[in-house]
Structure 1
Amino acid sequence: MAKFTVQPGVVIDGFVLGECVHRGGMATLWSACREDIADPVLMKIPRVSEGEDPAAIVSFEMEQMILPKLTGIHVPRCYAAGDFVRQAYVAIERIPGKTLYPRLEELPLPYEEARVIALKIADALSDLHRQNVIHHDIKPSSILFRPSGEAVLVDFGLSHHNQLPDLLQEEFRVPYGTAPYMAPERLLGVRDDPRSDLFSLGVLLYFFTTGVRPFGESETLAGMRRRLWRDPYPPRQLKKDYPPWLQEVVLRCLEIDPAWRYPTASQLAFELAHPEQIKLTARSERLKRDPLSTVWRRRFNGNPIQPRKPSAVAAQLAASPILAVAVDLTEGPAEMNEALRVTVARILKTSPLARLACLNVLKLGRVTIDRTLDEEGNNKHVSRLVTLKHWASPLKLDESRLTVHVLESVDPAGAILEFAEANHVDHIVIGARQNSLVRSLLGSTSAKVASEASCTVTVVRPARQATPSGTRDTPDDARSMPAI
């Protein structure tokens, strides 16, 4: 049991407590400092007095296990943790600024501002899921932003780590979470699906753009269970000027069956980063909820959520990669473009949930003034977008899985690398430049991309032409390598 009286001035494992900055239902937060840590520290201490919810202790144990394993800009740094033998606590980085909670007084927010906020949260979730963690408590008070703009996720007491024991699952049968944001499958005991976080983000985006919670304010379990069969009112019924692309995103996140949502947070972030290329479906135009016949079928004909075989979070992310292919539309020979298409088709065949981004770089002069029109008076940028779509058409991809992008830059390799980093690209396919004086002097774009990318890169060479004797050299179709 705790041997400390928690109050300002108390020293716990070298940390000197300051003021109490927040008293929550499961823990209190204190400012703290330690001589060897220059940055501000926040100490989280669980509530363990008589009458407190036992789940608070289990939740704190989960946070103690998970926080030290997390890294990156989207989570607070964990400095130390104490056990329940002396004094349970976690000491973490204190992020300057406020959470999203005070913004509730300003709702609804402008659509563009809400889009940017949701994009930053989706980026943070993408990073978290890649670390095998599902947050399970995405809500305004669990999200704040660094001065540099990145979203930071806090409060991991309800989280699930794919490689650690799930104490909440093992010890309790009641789903814990914040009712308005809880995904339907959570009510059925499912805690290992990262798409649950996308549902919660959809709730937040709906709320921030309409000022109304999609499922009301009900906190009862019976009220929450209605979302297993009842969809929310489409935002366009509430706001006539609601953008169709935004309703498409929100309603896809709020699908009852996780299989109908975005497969990964990375793909959701990609959509939010490129709203002009979102494939609109019937969701985008809906003005009414599903008819009662559909609701009754969901409610009385069995579980509407399709069963899913247990799988690792990492395995699910690997099945839904973002693939980028760099296509040279000006100097690239037909053989190269065909080799790129064949390689991309092979990769897509193994990943049926993958998204493909077709890239072309419109190279700008370093000192010259670039013309936007070609010799025939056509806009170069638009012409290349059309040509990229034509290049991709033989792949026969659904439009929801395909986007095309013309990047303008003096440095093609740098533009490709920047796009890949900003859009969570998992795999880049690029053609190797043929032997030339330019390549010998400056190096190739593909070599720079392969050496500097933070994802897998496949460098493609076209099949060699037949030799004079009629034989054909064995082609070096593609060389795949992880980035160095």
Structure 2
Amino acid sequence: MATEGKPSKGPLEAGDVVDGFMLEERTHQGGMASLWRVKRLDGTDTMPLIMKVPRIKGGDDPTTIVGFEVEQMILPTLTGPHVPRFVANGDFTGQPYIVMERIAGPSLKARLDEAPIPVEDVRQIGCKVATALHDLHRQHVVHLDVKPSNIMFRDSGEAVLIDFGLSRHERLPDLLEEEFELPMGTAPYMSPEQVQFVRNDPRSDLFALGVMLYHLVTGERPFGNPTSVRGLRQRLYKDPEPVRTLRADCPPWLQEIILRCLEVNPAKRHQSAAQLAFDLQNPDQVVLTQRAERSSRRGTLKTMQRWFSSMGAEPAGDASITTQTSRSPIVLVAVDVAGAEAALLEAIQITVQRVMQTSPGARLACLAVMKVNRIGMDELTEKDGSSKHVNMLVQLKHWARPLVAALALPPDAAQDTRVTFHVIEAPDAATAIVEYARRNQVDHIVMGARSSSMLRRYLGSVSAQVVAESNCTVTVVRAPAVAED
């Protein structure tokens, strides 16, 4: 039996006790580690627990040892619903292990084995994983081994990222970069920049997610499963087969998203996981480019040109994880296009323009809330028979026209700034704005506030409620005061 503070004298078995944790059942035996269902002997467990024990081959396997040390270093720093909760660990002077929360739900690998799967399922899975990645990146970590077996789902539906043995934390030493000179990752999912030894770009995880989405839609891997560095380097210059040539019912917006994730140059991908999740949440707002229309790989000449370029290309990798995430925010502007005064609408435009100009990689979502009664007895058409919803959308786009012109937003810029338009129906405007911002990982809300009045002071205002309840920055704009004669 393994005892506290001493190495195990042989392979662990059910019933052994390690530092107060009893091993109940081995649930997985992998090449790098074993997983055991465990419980505390003192009975103080507040959740199901799993113990991860590295497999040391011949007592000296540097990949296993360093990867395990990386996970021991990173996992305790992480919080939130998208990672397993850290409980305890032991080092190599005794019995090495990590005890963490056991996620009861399945991994994504089961769905990959069913591929191709329905498009709506792909959309939902992609949105959940992108949301989890955004939460991880905001904690200064790039996963760098995103693959189906490393993604699990809670019973409540949230995606959970596991296995941080290849990850990079920008505020901790990168042991893998110090110890190894070969690309680190799982071959089918490695990004081009990982092949070029760049380990600090959060957009690498978006490439891996794109590989998974491609496989879920088509049943095939976009770059196969290469077994050599030469094979890995082919993704620097060879295109994958367009998704719709393998599955005709794949909508253009989904091919657009997937091929964008698989771009060789990270600057041409979504600039944050939140922006990718936003597109998957709002497929009708996805701007279609030539990617959506692609029906074949690039020709031999173009491939050769890209091959020559890749031979001398120096990877960028100059921005930190935090810098890349923070310079690609999602900005939400909530506009009362039907009721606000012209001066206030103009003031909101000016404020949004300033915000967007300071963040060239930002995504702008223009939102109007159409107030409806809670019991659903509203008249949804105007007297002339036109749709109130459509009319408000037209007003919103008309309001944004000078803003879009001032920002000079190109349709497919490298930094990929986007403007989208949304009208939602809700009985409470403030609640609708707050929920929309949370669901879409909004970083900054800009909204107007009308002039004060006794009624507004008594009942409270929409802007005050949004400020109080939002978990992001909120800028409240007022119209300039008019001087009286």
Report the TM-score when normalising by structure 1. 0.94
Query: Where does 1:183-222 land on structure 2 (aligned, <5 Å)?
Result: 183-222=191-230
Match of 2:3 in 1: none
Match of 2:307 in 1: 299
Match of 1:235 in 2: 243
Deviations 1:68-93 (A, max 9, x none): 01000000001001111111110010
2:332 pairs, out of 324, 348, 358, with 324
Deviations 1:283-333 (A, max 9, x none): 001001112222111211345866435232111111111000011112100
Letter in 2 for 1:342: I
2:236–2:310 Cα contact (<8 Å) kept: no
Question: What SS does the aligned partner of 1:22 have?
Answer: strand
Deviations 1:336-390 (A, max 9, x none): 0000000000011111110000011101124571111122221011111111111
Match of 1:418 in 2: 435
Unaligned runs of 5+ in 2: 1-5, 412-416
1:26 pairs, out of 13, 32, 47, with 32
1:142–1:154 Cα contact (<8 Å) kept: yes
**Is residue 2:16 matched to residue 1:10?**
yes
Unaligned runs of 5+ in 1: 469-484
Question: What SS does the aligned partner of 1:37 have?
Answer: coil
Letter in 2 for 1:408: E
Match of 1:454 in 2: 471
Are residues 330 and 66 of structure 1, via their aligned partners in 2, closer, same or farther at CA, if it must alter by over 3 Å? same
Match of 1:480 in 2: none
Are residues 73 and 405 of structure 1, via their aligned partners in 2, closer, same or farther at CA, if it must alter by over 3 Å? same
Higher RCO, 1 vs 2 (CA within 8 Å, ≥6 residues apart): 2
**Is residue 2:296 matched to residue 1:288?**
yes
2:390 pairs, out of 359, 382, 391, with 382
1:32–1:43 Cα contact (<8 Å) kept: yes
**Is residue 2:109 matched to residue 1:101?**
yes
**Is residue 2:264 matched to residue 1:256?**
yes
Question: What SS does the aligned partner of 2:111 have?
Answer: helix
Match of 1:135 in 2: 143
C-alpha separation in 2, matches of 1:384 and 1:303: 52
C-alpha separation in 2, matches of 1:349 and 1:211: 42
Query: Where does 1:399-414 land on structure 2 (aligned, <5 Å)?
Result: 401-414=418-431
C-alpha separation in 2, matches of 1:258 and 1:51: 39
Question: What SS does the aligned partner of 1:301 have?
Answer: helix
Are residues 243 and 306 of structure 1, via their aligned partners in 2, closer, same or farther at CA, if it must alter by over 3 Å? farther
**Is residue 2:176 matched to residue 1:168?**
yes
Match of 1:159 in 2: 167
**Is residue 2:440 matched to residue 1:434?**
no
Are residues 450 and 406 of structure 1, via their aligned partners in 2, closer, same or farther at CA, if it must alter by over 3 Å? same
Question: What SS does the aligned partner of 1:346 have?
Answer: helix
**Is residue 2:472 matched to residue 1:466?**
no
**Aligned pairs, how many?**
468
Letter in 1 for 2:28: H
2:15–2:22 Cα contact (<8 Å) kept: yes
Question: What SS does the aligned partner of 2:46 have?
Answer: strand
Letter in 1 for 2:440: N
C-alpha separation in 2, matches of 1:107 and 1:447: 47
C-alpha separation in 2, matches of 1:424 and 1:303: 38
Letter in 1 for 2:27: V
1:258–1:305 Cα contact (<8 Å) kept: no
Query: In angstroms, what is the RMSD of aligned CA positions?
Result: 1.5
1:361–1:409 Cα contact (<8 Å) kept: yes
Letter in 2 for 1:428: I
C-alpha separation in 2, matches of 1:446 and 1:99: 41
Are residues 38 and 225 of structure 1, via their aligned partners in 2, closer, same or farther at CA, if it must alter by over 3 Å? same
C-alpha separation in 1, matches of 2:150 and 2:438: 25
1:187–1:225 Cα contact (<8 Å) kept: yes
Query: Where does 1:116-127 land on structure 2 (aligned, <5 Å)?
Result: 116-127=124-135
Match of 2:402 in 1: 394
Letter in 1 for 2:158: E
Report the TM-score when normalising by structure 2. 0.94
Are residues 227 and 392 of structure 1, via their aligned partners in 2, closer, same or farther at CA, if it must alter by over 3 Å? same
